[in-house]
């Protein structure tokens, strides 16, 4: 039977993580509860951080938004500061599962879960977010692009806890997230793509299109292509699909074969790139 520890301070939580063997931080519990019910989780110690003060804050400045680990996915969807500073993040969090899950799940639990199908990481990599990791050894910042290491493997070490996510101000409004699910609309995706056009110089002209892929490889993948004012929609789509093809390596499961997911992945990339190119032309 697992023991639940309910620390009252961050120092206490980090000490428990350092001292005990076989621990898991308990965030919203939406992933942990499912694994427990399925009988495939045998962790001895859960560190429930719900009573640690200051972990549910969102703060924004001109450079971006700082998000506490226990901020819910629903807050990311609805908070006016997040919607204004990083609208692509906001609209991507809004696509996760259903309101019941989004009201309970936390931003840190979401990324620490490390599932290759997660939606928010696709936006976090294109927005160049950073993850703050804390332990009794100190604090470190890891780029979201380095955070997702491999299948169910993230940068979080056994004695570490995610204590924040920082999302820089979105460099342009030309962003889009497209997700395809094969079983039900609010089910896990079998392919997703977040795309963002980024100005590379003072002229404000976009020079780069960033692409985050979800559910299409053993972990979230990040890619980018160069564009210039002469790049047509079709040029951008072709270049994005070419580079996406180098990363698409789907895992076959009940939601579809590898071939089916790869096809949907290319459709998602095309749809998101076309939306972004249209936004650039309309701006």
Ligand X SMILES: Cc1cc2nc3c(=O)[nH]c(=O)nc-3n(C[C@H](O)[C@H](O)[C@H](O)COP(=O)(O)OP(=O)(O)OC[C@H]3O[C@@H](n4cnc5c(N)ncnc54)[C@H](O)[C@@H]3O)c2cc1C
* CA quadruple 111, 112, 118, 123: dihedral, nearest 10: 20
Q: 163 φ, ψ to 5°?
A: -115, 5
Nearest approach in angstroms of CB 21 to ligand X is 15
| Strand locations in the chain (E) | 3-5, 23-26, 45-48, 58-61, 64-67, 130-135, 138-143, 148-150, 153-154, 161-168, 175-180, 191-199, 206-214, 221-226
| 264 scored as a contact of ligand X (CB under 6 A) | no
User: Which of positions 22-51 make contact with ligand X (CB under 6 A)?
Assistant: 24-32, 34
Minimum distance of ligand X from residue 5's CB (angstroms)? 13
Rounded to 5 degrees, φ, ψ at 256 are 150, 160
Q: How far is the CB of 207 from ligand X (least distance, A)?
A: 30
Q: Which of 187, 194, 142, 188 is nearest to 163 (CA)?
A: 142
Segment 54 to 93, residues that bind ligand X, using CB under 6 A: 69
| 156 touches ligand X by CB under 6 A | yes
- Identify the residue among 101, 247, 251, 267 touching ligand X (CB under 6 A): 101
Residue span binding ligand X (CB under 6 A) among the ranges 19-27, 74-82, 254-262, 263-271: 19-27
Least CB distance from residue 46 to ligand X, whole Å? 8
Q: Does 106 bind ligand X (CB under 6 A)?
A: yes
Q: Which two tokens stand for residue 227?
A: 């564009």
What is the smallest separation between the CB atom of 45 and ligand X, expressed in angstroms? 11
Farthest-apart Cα atoms in the chain, separation: 63
Q: Does 213 bind ligand X (CB under 6 A)?
A: no
Indicate the DSSP class of residue 50. Answer: T
Separation between Cα atoms, residue 77 and residue 237, nearest integer Å:
28
24 or 269: whose CB is closer to ligand X? 24
If one asks whether residue 96 binds ligand X (CB under 6 A), the answer comes out as yes
In angstroms, what is the minimal distance from the CB of 156 to ligand X? 5
Give the nearer residue to ligand X in terms of CB position, either 12 or 208: 12
Bridge partners of 154, per DSSP, are 148
Question: If you search the block for the tokens 């908070």, which residue do you land on?
Answer: 79
Instruction: Based on the shown chain and the rule CB under 6 A, indicate whether residue 113 belongs to the binding site for ligand X.
Output: yes
The nearer residue to ligand X, 75 or 106, going by C-beta atoms, is: 106
> Which parts of this chain interact with ligand X (CB under 6 A)?
24-32, 34, 69, 96-97, 101, 105-106, 108-110, 112-113, 118-120, 156, 161-162, 188-189
């Amino acid at each position: 039977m697992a023991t639940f520890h309910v620390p009252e301070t961050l120092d206490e939580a980090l000490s428990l993580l350092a001292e005990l063997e076989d621990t898991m931080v308990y965030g919203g519990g939406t992933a942990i509860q499912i694994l427990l019910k399925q009988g495939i989780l045998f962790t001895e110690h859960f560190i429930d951080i719900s009573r640690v003060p200051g972990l549910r804050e969102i703060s924004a400045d001109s450079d971006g938004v700082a998000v506490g680990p226990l901020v819910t996915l629903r807050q990311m969807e609805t908070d006016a500061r997040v919607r204004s500073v990083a609208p692509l993040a906001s609209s991507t969090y809004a696509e996760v599962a259903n309101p019941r899950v989004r009201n309970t799940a936390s931003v840190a639990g979401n990324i620490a879960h490390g599932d290759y199908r997660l939606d928010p990481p696709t936006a976090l990599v294109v927005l160049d977010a950073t993850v703050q990791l804390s332990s009794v050894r100190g604090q470190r910042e890891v780029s979201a692009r380095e955070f997702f290491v491999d299948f169910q493997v993230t940068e979080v070490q056994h004695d570490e806890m995610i204590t924040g996510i920082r999302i820089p101000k979105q460099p342009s409004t030309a962003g889009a997230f497209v997700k395809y699910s094969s079983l039900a609309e609010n089910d896990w995706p079998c392919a997703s793509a977040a795309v963002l056009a980024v100005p590379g110089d003072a002229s404000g002209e976009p020079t780069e299109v960033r692409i985050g892929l979800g559910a299409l490889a053993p972990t979230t993948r990040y890619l980018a292509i160069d564009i210039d004012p002469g790049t047509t929609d079709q040029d951008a789509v072709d270049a994005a699909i070419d580079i996406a093809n180098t990363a698409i390596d789907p895992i076959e499961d009940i939601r579809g074969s590898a071939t089916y997911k790869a096809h949907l992945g290319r459709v998602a990339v095309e749809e998101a790139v076309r939306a972004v190119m249209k936004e650039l032309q309309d701006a």
